[in-house]
Amino acid sequence: MRIFDTHCHLDFAAFDDDRAQVIAAAQDLGVERFMLLGVAKQQFDRLINVSQDFSNSCYFSLGLHPYFIEQHEEHHLGALESYLEAILADTQTRCKAVGEIGLDVTCGKPELQQTLFKGQLKIAAEYQLPVILHHRKTLDELLKAVREASIQRGVVHAFSGSYEQAAAWADQGFKLGVGGTITYQRAKKTRDAISRIGAEHLVLETDAPDMPLCGYQGQRNEPKRVLEVLNSLSELLQTETNELADVLWKNSVELFN
């Protein structure tokens, strides 16, 4: 069984004391690959270095996350493009997407959020890269912008919408990121949408060190717990675990080329 944690933040300070052990613990359970996410220009070099330190398993994306809006300036779009231009010149690059990007109504500076998001969609289209999307009460707005930018490949991270929204994103060619949310029985809308959309539209993720699973509230999340997400998803879809894992692995590898 091969597993890809398509969304984790292993470069964050929460893992500074035991990063190698955390990765090894996940690998021991079959988690072979990890996608590390860009969130701010100031973090890009650190992110790239961590990915290089664990080049047998870690890939990365670069993006300007709305949660860190206070760190962003409009000219950081140019910096992002410069990084991508240099990195993608290497045919063996481990950079596989633009992300984590999106819109979040709980964060400030909505006009700057819009400028950065649309600018990053344009960059992703130019470099033919998938996008990894953060949303908070913005799923429909994001889909409109993605359609206008002709982006047809990416992930809706931590999907938490309705079945109708899930189907619309699947029609756009996007995968839905499935993480700890489905381990909570109270997440009825999300669990219903995920159960109905079909495994071919899903990928696994943890968002480690954030988004702890049910039973681990208040604890640091880790990539090894993606196995528990897989088990919950297997029960939800009433599908044999190994068979499901194969589908999700294929989805992830094809998504990130």
Q: Which residues fall in the annotated binding site for a divalent metal cation?
A: 7, 9, 100, 134, 157, 207
Single-letter amino acid code for the residue at 232? S
Q: In this structure, what are the phi and psi dihedrals at residue 240, rounded to the nearest 5 degrees?
A: -60, 135
Length of the chain: 257
- Nearest alpha-carbon partner for 182 in 120, 226, 129: 226
Integer angstrom CA distances of residue 252 from 5, 154, 155: 9, 10, 10
Joined tokens for residue 169: 């994103």
Exposure string (b/e) for 45-64, b if CB count within 10 Å is 16 or more? eebbebbeebeebbbbbbbb
Cα(109)–Cα(127) distance, integer angstroms: 27
Q: Which residues are annotated as a binding site?
A: 7, 9, 100, 134, 157, 207
Helix ranges (DSSP H) in 128-187: 139-148, 163-171
Angle at alpha carbon of residue 243, lines to 240 and 244, rounded to 5°: 80
